[in-house]
A and B are shown apart, each in its own frame.
Chain A
Amino acid sequence: MIMSKSSKFNRGVSRRAVLKGAAGAVGLAAGSGAITGFPYVHSADPKVLRYLGTAVNAGDEISKKCLADTGIKIEYITVTTDDVTKRVITQPNSFDVLDTEYFSLKKLVPSGNIFALDAKKIKQFDNITPVFTKGQLPNGKKIGDQGTAPWKVLYLEGANSKKFSTTPTEFVTLIPTVYNADTLGIRPDLIKRPISSWSELLNPEFKGKASILNIPSIGIMDAAMVVEATGQHKYADKGNMTKAEIDLTMKIMTEAKKAGQFRAFWKDFNESVNLMAAGETVIQSMWSPAVTKVRSMGIACTFQPLKEGYRSWASGFCVSKAVSGPKLDWAYEFVNWYLSGWAGAYLNRQGYYSAVLSTAKANMTADEWGYWMEGKAAVGDIKAPDGTILEKAGSKRDGGSYDDRMGGVACWNAVMDENDYMVRKWNEFIAA
Chain B
Amino acid sequence: MLQDRKSFVAWLQAAPMMLIFALFFMLPLVFVTIVSAWDYNEYEMLPALSLRGYTDTFEGCIAELPGLCTILKTYLKTLKLCLLTWVLTLLIGFTVAYFLAFHVRSKTWQIVLSLLCTIPFWTSNVIRMIAWIPLLGRNGLVNKGLQGSGLIQQPLEWLLFSEFSVVLALVHLFTFFMVVPIFNSMIRIDKRLIEAAYDAGATGWQTLVNIIIPLAKPGIVIGSIFVITIVMGDFVTIGVMGGQQIASAGKIIEARLNALQFPAAAANAVILLGITIMIISALTRIVDIRKEL
Contact = CB atoms under 8 A, between A and B. Distances in A.
Contact of B138 (A110, A279, A423): A279
B114 A424 contact: no
A423 B253 CA distance: 12
Interface centre among A279, A426, A428, A432 (most CB of B within 10 A): A428
A107 B42 contact: yes
A265 B238 CA distance: 12
A426 B255 contact: yes
Contact of B260 (A85, A267, A279, A428): A85
B252 A107 contact: no
Contacts of B184: 1-2
Interface stretch (B27-35, B84-92, B242-250): B242-250
B44 interface: yes
Given A89-B44, A279-B138, A430 B245 contact: yes
Contacts of B77: 431
B233 interface: no
B205 interface: no
A424 B59 contact: yes
Contacts of B140: 278
Contact of A427 (B134, B161, B247): B247
B229 to A, nearest CB: 20
A419 interface: yes
B257 interface: yes
Interface string B95-114: 00000000000000001001
Interface in B48-80: 56, 59, 70, 73-74, 77
B139 interface: yes
Contacts of A279: 137-139
A111 B244 contact: no
Contacts of A5: 111
Interface residues of B, number: 39
Contact-size category for A: 35 or more
B257 A86 contact: yes
Nearest to A417: B42
B243 A431 contact: no
Contacts of A400: none
A420 B59 CA distance: 13
B247 A430 contact: yes
A226 to B, nearest CB: 17
A107 B244 contact: no
Given A2-B180, A267-B244, A280-B137, A110 B260 contact: no
B251 A430 contact: yes
Contacts of B134: 278
Contacts of A432: 73
B133 interface: yes
B245 to A, nearest CB: 6
A2 B74 CA distance: 38
A86 to B, nearest CB: 6
Contacts, number: 95
Nearest to B183: A2
Nearest to B60: A428
A254 to B, nearest CB: 11
A108 B260 CA distance: 11
B123 interface: no
B244 A265 contact: yes
Nearest to B59: A424
B255 A111 contact: no
Interface in B110-133: 111, 114, 133
A55 B33 CA distance: 34
A214 B247 CA distance: 12
B42 A427 contact: no
Interface string B176-195: 00001001100100000000
A214 B243 CA distance: 10
Interface stretch (A13-21, A126-134, A256-264, A301-309): A256-264
A208 interface: yes
A401 interface: no
B43 interface: yes
A278 B245 contact: no
Given A278-B139, A420-B261, A430-B245, A106 B161 contact: no
A427 B59 CA distance: 12
Interface string B256-293: 11111100000000000000000000000000000000
Given A107-B42, A110-B42, A428 B243 contact: no
Nearest to B130: A274
A267 B240 CA distance: 10
B258 A82 contact: yes
Given A267-B244, A278-B134, A415-B42, A86 B183 contact: no
Contacts of A89: 43-44, 260
Contact of A214 (B42, B244, B259, B260): B244
B255 A216 contact: yes
A420 B133 contact: no
Contact of B56 (A257, A266, A278, A424): A424
Nearest to B74: A431
A274 B160 CA distance: 13
Nearest to B75: A431
7 smallest CB-CB distances across A and B, nearest first, come from: A264-B243, A431-B247, A265-B244, A82-B258, A107-B43, A428-B70, A423-B259
Interface of B: 42-44, 56, 59, 70, 73-74, 77, 111, 114, 133-134, 137-140, 157, 160-161, 180, 183-184, 187, 239, 243-247, 251-252, 255-261
Given A86-B257, A110-B42, A265-B245, 20 more contacts: A1-B184, A2-B184, A2-B187, A5-B111, A82-B258, A85-B260, A108-B43, A110-B43, A214-B244, A216-B255, A266-B244, A278-B139, A419-B42, A420-B42, A420-B261, A427-B70, A427-B74, A427-B252, A427-B255, A430-B247
13 contacts: A2-B187, A5-B111, A86-B258, A107-B43, A108-B43, A216-B259, A278-B134, A280-B138, A419-B42, A419-B259, A430-B251, A430-B255, A432-B73
